[in-house]
Amino acid sequence: MSKYAVSGLKLTRVHKLTAAGVAAAGAAALVFTAVPGADAGQSKAAAASASLNVKPVAFSAVDTAARAQQATIAQQADASAAQGKAEAAAAKQQAEAAAKAKVEKERQVKEAASRAAVRQAIPAAVQKPAKVYPNNLDGWIRESLDIMGKNNIPGSYDGIYRNLMRESSGNPTAINLWDSNAQAGIPSKGLLQVIDPTFRQYHVSGTSWNIYDPVANITAACNYAAARYGSMDNVNSAY
């Protein structure tokens, strides 16, 4: 029977090799323990070897953590830089938008001022020159008629001409010193022989306050005739 048989069991080749390995390992252990002459230096060397075998594992772990920390810091720095760029870009856009808005506002103000200047210039450009009347009987009557038209005073060229020729023969400085008005101290004066109280009462704004002024005299007389007779055209004698 083989020496590797245990409890009546037959060992295979694998079992035999395994058992032989275990036995050899045990013998080696006994040799290192029991051999006289194995000194403390050998033990220290073994301990140092064991210690050296552990350290790389510890350094490896520290390096991994450091690299992870560095990666995190780098990511944070990249994120901060990206945020800074975004904020700078936003600030630049805001500044550009503000500058454009300022330019646009200035343009609008200039255009508004230009339009206002044009509006002011147009009336001056299209304004008709003041009408000029000749300084004679015809001019006086026509100027008086224009003023009468603006003040809704009725009367015609023929009606005015007919009456002033009868009253003064067309003399703007004529004065009556012999009738009842003259005897009362208020002589009739001017083209249409108006007394001072009547002239002042029926004076038309925009004309002279001089009773001998031809236009003022005609206009005031026609205003009085309109109030009393309806129009100077209805006057055919002393009035």
Burial 156-190 (b: 16+ CB within 10 A, else e): eeebbbebbeebbeeebebebeeeebeeeeebbbb
Q: How many Å apart are CA 214 and CA 192, to the nearest integer?
A: 9
> Is the distance from CB of 226 to CB of 201 less than 8 angstroms?
no
d(CA 203, CA 216): 7
Q: How far apart are CA 102 and CA 106, in angstroms?
A: 6
Single out the residue of 184, 180, 144 nearest to residue 164, CA to CA. 144
| Count of CB atoms situated within 10 Å of the CB of 28 | 10
What pLDDT score does 187 carry? 97
The domain locations on the chain are: 137-234
Between 174 and 42, the higher pLDDT residue: 174
226 pLDDT more than 70: yes
More confident residue, 125 or 16: 125
CA distances from 67 to 36, 52, 99, 172 (A): 50, 23, 47, 120
Q: Is the pTM of this model over 0.85?
A: no
What's the pLDDT at 65? 75
| pLDDT above 60 (res 219) | yes
Q: What is the mean pLDDT of the chain?
A: 78
pLDDT band at residue 180, thresholds of 50, 70 and 90?
very high
Convert the pLDDT of each residue in 29-40 to its tens digit.
Answer: 333 343 344 444
Rounded CA-CA distance 110/128 in Å is 30
What class does CATH assign to 137-234? mainly alpha
